[in-house]
Amino acid sequence: MTTMTDPPKAEGFRIGQLINDTRYRSYTFQFIAIVALIFAFSWLAYNASQNEQLQANGFSYEFMSAPAGYDINQQPISYDSQDTHLRATVIGAINTLIVAFLACVTATVFGVIAGVLRLSNNWIISKLMAVYVEIFRNIPVLIWIIIIFTVAANTFPPMSEFRLPRDGSDPTRTLLFGMFAATNQGVYVPRLTLGDTGWIVIATFLASIAGVFGMRSFARKKLYDEGKVVPVLWPSIAILIVPAVLMQFILGSPLGVENPEMGRFSFDGGILLRPSLIALWFALSIYTGAFIAENVRAGILAISRGQSEAAAALGLRPGRIMSLVVLPQALRVIIPPLISQYLNITKNTSLAIAVGYMDLTATLGGITLNQTGRALECILLLMLFYLTFSLIISAVMNVYNNSVALKER
């Protein structure tokens, strides 16, 4: 009894307390962890500094301003082999972002469709989706990329069948509708050309899109305030198309279409979607789509059945129950894992090298590194690029997540 009421003796600090006293124990271990971490990193740095190659060459990014000397096939901004390594790096970074963006969009579409359909009451559809998810999720994405690339090279007709034979006869194959061609050197699609006043048509179209949103919110307001149902679908389509088409006629067709045309070896003009881009894009989409499908399914199953039963009792049809009641709630469960999937896609684009897609890893981490021999500099910069991309994507997606998260008032 007395021991409990006695004030603690003002005894001195003992070393043993660092381990035995819960007040200090966590500090002790944190301190040890930090010291170990510092040691590990300084050992790495020391080891690197002792590298003969590095001692001889020094650590410098001067090579970035030297001419790259190599060519890049997919050039979102203009480039030739006399431009600097820095410009080649930037092009690689843009190519990475292009394929990452495309793959994120299509993976989401595939994932949402497959995830919802897997919960379908239709036995065949739900099993088909289960098969899709299990097959694509359980085979490494690199294998898928190579499979699709090889299949594309061997199943699409070779370019030689499109060429004009030298004896003057007709080629074996011609453009589909005079606009499209799928060859094993890539898929050619028409390109939009912009005349002098073309921007007016584009601006009109953008204004129309804003108009459609305005129109929809007007219809919603009408529905909530007065209970009147205003037709939305047809007016939306009309608002979207009519003004831009009118403007195109008034200004004398400034917007044009440039079709691919056969040159000596391949098509000139139009846009070329290279097999490497298609293989990478498609493989990343279906592979990650399978993961997203599972996230979506988990999100939907997380919503209690009572919600959809209550909505059904109110007379909502199944499609509306899904889009108005279940999905908005399910998004709260779906978004956080979806962020990781987007990050996975972005990082997996570095597998581009397997099919020769000129992304950041192929330019900076591949040819530039190999031609300059600046391995440490290139890899560090490469890490910095991917880290930045990933952090930006997670920041943006977190903002979106906060907007759909449960509001605690």
Partner 1 sequence: MNKSVLFGTLAFAGLAAAGASAATLDDVKARGTLNCGVTTGVPGFAEPDSDGVWQGFDVAVCRAVAAAVLGDSDAVTFVPTTGKTRFTSLASGEIDMLARNTTWTFSRDTDLKFDFTGVNYYDGQGFMVPTDLGVASATELDGATVCIQTGTTTELNLADYFRINGMSYEPVPIETGAEAVQQFLAGACDVYTTDRSALAAQRAGFENPDNYMLLPEVVSKEPLGPLVRHGDSEWFDIVKWTLYALIAAEEYGVTQANVEELASAPGDNPEVNRLLGTEGELGAMMGVSNSWAKDAIAAVGNFGEIFDTTIGESTAIGLARGLNAQYTDGGLMYAPPFR
Residues at the contact surface with partner 1, assessed by CB under 8 A = 39, 43, 46-47, 50, 52-53, 56-57, 69-73, 80-82, 150, 153-154, 158-160, 166, 184-185, 263-266, 268, 275-276, 353-354, 356, 358, 362, 366-367, 369-373, 375
Based on CB atoms, which residue is closest to partner 1, 93 or 369?
369
Question: Which C-beta is closer to partner 1: that of 325 or that of 354?
Answer: 354
**In the complex, minimum distance from the CB of residue 16 to partner 1, in angstroms, rounded to a whole number:** 18
Q: How far is the CB of 306 from partner 1 (least distance, A)?
A: 55
At closest approach, how far in Å is the CB of 58 from partner 1?
11
Q: What is the 3-state secondary structure (H, E, C) of the chain?
A: CHHHHCCCCCCCCCCCHHHHCHHHHHHHHHHHHHHHHHHHHHHHHHHHHCCHHHHHHCCCCHHHHCECCCCCCCCCCCCCCCCEHHHHHHHHHHHHHHHHHHHHHHHHHHHHHHHHHHCCCCHHHHHHHHHHHHHHHCCCHHHHHHHHHHHHHHHCCCHHHCCCCCCCCCCCCCCECCCEEEECCEEEECEEEECCCHHHHHHHHHHHHHHHHHHHHHHHHHHHHHCCCCCCHHHHHHHHHHHHHHHHHHCCCCEEEECCEECCCCEECCEEECHHHHHHHHHHHHHHHHHHHHHHHHHHHCCCHHHHHHHHHCCCCHHHHHHHHHHHHHHHHHHHHHHHHHHHHHHHHHHHHHHCCCCHHHHHHHHHHHHHCCHHHHHHHHHHHHHHHHHHHHHHHHHHHHHHCCCCC
Residue number with CB closer to partner 1 (344 or 363):
363
Nearest of 326, 328, 342 to residue 407 by alpha carbon: 328
Residues forming a β-bridge with 193: 256
C-beta closer to partner 1: residue 49 or 402: 49
Shortest distance in whole angstroms from residue 235 CB to partner 1: 46
Shortest distance, position 201 Cβ to partner 1, whole Å: 31
Residue 207: partners with Cβ closer than 8 Å, 6 or more residues away:
243
CB 75, min distance to partner 1, A:
11
Q: Least distance in Å: CB of 389 to partner 1?
A: 22
Shorter beta-carbon distance to partner 1: residue 341 or 372: 372
Comparing CB distances to partner 1, the nearer of 318 and 373 is 373
Do 185 and 160 contact (CB within 8 A), yes or no? Answer: no
Closest distance of CB 67 from partner 1, Å = 10
Among residues 149, 102, 129, 160, which one has the least CA distance to residue 296?
A: 129
At CB < 8 A and 24+ separation, what contacts does 374-383 make? 374/57, 374/63, 376/48, 376/54, 376/59, 377/59, 377/60, 377/61, 377/63, 381/61, 381/89
**Identity of the residue, 101 or 156, whose beta carbon is nearer to partner 1 in the bound complex:** 156
* Comparison of 271 and 405: residue with beta carbon closer to partner 1: 271
Q: Cβ of residue 365: shortest distance to partner 1, in angstroms?
A: 9
Nearer to partner 1, 343 or 352 (CB): 352
Q: Which is nearer to partner 1, 70 or 180 (CB)?
A: 70
Least distance to partner 1 from the beta carbon of 379, Å? 10
Closest distance of CB 355 from partner 1, Å:
9
Residue nearer to partner 1 on the CB measure, 120 or 370? 370
Tell me the Cα Rg of the chain: 29
